[in-house]
Amino acid sequence: DIQLTQSPSFLSASVGDRVTISCRASQGFARYLAWYQQKPGKAPKLLIYGESTLQPGVSSRFSGSGSGTEFTLTISSLQPDDYATYFCQHFTTYPLAFGQGTKLEIK
């Protein structure tokens, strides 16, 4: 089974900063990674999946990259609405797995 480890677990950043969140897989794979955003009391929201396919309505400030065992979510210029917890998810095969989450907080 593939496990995902995100880093950092907590991140403090300011509005306008460029932020990167990493997701490391226990086994390598190509494009089968997705990123979700979750705000307190809300369900997760799909942001990006695959090579870097942005969900409709998601800001182009979000981008994804990587392959093998190292993947990255980048937010190019933090906005107040971006403060949330972010999860990666692989979809290579079942069992699916999520990273433990990265909580992005206001600095």
Nearest approach in angstroms of CB 64 to other proteins is 12
* C-alpha distances out from residue 39 to 10, 25, 65, 78, 94, Å: 14, 24, 23, 15, 26
Q: Give whichever of 4 and 19 is closer to other proteins, judged by the CB atom.
A: 4
Q: Give whichever of 28 and 50 is closer to other proteins, judged by the CB atom.
A: 50
Q: Give whichever of 81 and 94 is closer to other proteins, judged by the CB atom.
A: 94
The full DSSP string for 25-64 is: EEEEESS-EEEEEE-TTS--EEEEETTTEEPTT--TTEEE
Nearest approach in angstroms of CB 96 to other proteins is 4
Residues that bind other proteins (CB under 8 A): 32, 34, 36, 38, 43-46, 49-50, 55, 87, 89, 91, 94-101
